[in-house]
Amino acid sequence: MSVIALSWWQLGLAATLVLALAACTHFARLGLGKSLLVAAARTAIQLTLVGLVLETLFSVGSLPWVALMGVAMLLLAGREVMARQKYRLRGGWSFTVGTAAMFISAFSVTVLTLTVIIGPTPWYTPQYAIPLLGMLLGNTMTGVALALDRLTEGVWRQRQLVENRLMLGQTWIEACGDIRRDAMRSGLMPIINAMAAAGIVSLPGMMTGQILSGTAPALAVKYQILIMFTIAAGTGFGTFVAVSVASRRLFDRRERLRLDRLQPGNRG
């Protein structure tokens, strides 16, 4: 089985569907037409560029270039985590905490999966390494961003409660324990829901892609299960690290709550 090649005019047909939708929303005065078209154009341009990068990377396939790509993806993800915070840690801590958490979890889980589980030769074969890292980083990013946002906003809103608990002689861990639990939960909920609903409500995107490109469904399913498990581990550990470090940073050496270490971000 081999996949049927798509040519640009065939994509053009799909694009006319989007154009038709944009026209409809324009005439219905929904005010969405422009952003829909911009987003569609961005999809086309960004994915084409990534395609070019990947083509080049696949043809070179050397470790330094794969590593460079990985680091670039990581830094972009770190920036995205920071941009999604309503309240950020001052002095670059938001970026550092998010990026470090994703590095520890997504990178190590990717390398572990490549070397121990899938085992391509060489282990950094870009065909396996880049999509795997991309899936892991994307999901870990969502988890870490949600959890950090929940944590800082929770502490900001419940300042009085946290300080009341401190006044009664509780340690900083006890005083913000509920907020940390909440943050961890909101970071892990998306992947838990995705695992619970996989195959029933939706066919996961990666599996669909593999099946479309001619992989036997049984094999595609195995890859999907592998991906789900690694995403759960990566997101979980990443969220855990991020919440632990960030919440420690919200208290100082004397276990005082230091909201002056937060600053309102641009979001919302």
Partner 1 sequence: MAPGQIVCLSGPSGSGKSRLLRAVADLEPHGGVVRLGDRDQDSLAGHRWRQSVMMVPAETAWWFDTVGEHLHKPMPDALGALGFPDDAAEWAVSRLSSGEKQRLALIRALSRDPQALLLDEPTANLDDDTTLQVEDWLQSYIAEHQCPTLWVAHREDQIQRVAAKHFRIDGARLREQEVEQ
Query: Which residues in this chain contact partner 1 in the complex, by CB under 8 A?
Result: 158, 160-161, 163-172, 178, 252-257
The least distance separating partner 1 from the CB of residue 147, rounded to whole angstroms, comes to: 20
In this complex, which beta carbon is closest to partner 1, that of residue 29 or of residue 253?
Answer: 253
The least distance separating partner 1 from the CB of residue 159, rounded to whole angstroms, comes to: 9
Cα separation of 242 and 264, whole Å? 19
The least distance separating partner 1 from the CB of residue 133, rounded to whole angstroms, comes to: 41
| Residue 156: burial class (beta carbons within 10 Å; 0-12, 13-18, 19+) | middle
- The set of residues, in sequence order, having a beta carbon less than 8 Å from that of 72 and lying 6+ positions away, is none
In this complex, which beta carbon is closest to partner 1, that of residue 59 or of residue 160?
Answer: 160
CA torsion 30-43-149-173 (nearest 10°) is 150
CA distances from 25 to 12, 41, 230, 256 (A): 20, 17, 40, 53
The least distance separating partner 1 from the CB of residue 170, rounded to whole angstroms, comes to: 6
The least distance separating partner 1 from the CB of residue 178, rounded to whole angstroms, comes to: 7
The least distance separating partner 1 from the CB of residue 3, rounded to whole angstroms, comes to: 57
Amino acid at 44: A
In this complex, which beta carbon is closest to partner 1, that of residue 27 or of residue 260?
Answer: 260
3-state helix, strand, coil in the chain (%, to 5): 75, 5, 20
Cα separation of 74 and 63, whole Å? 16
In this complex, which beta carbon is closest to partner 1, that of residue 151 or of residue 257?
Answer: 257
In this complex, which beta carbon is closest to partner 1, that of residue 159 or of residue 267?
Answer: 159
| Residue 59: burial class (beta carbons within 10 Å; 0-12, 13-18, 19+) | exposed
Amino acid at 39: A
In this complex, which beta carbon is closest to partner 1, that of residue 136 or of residue 151?
Answer: 151
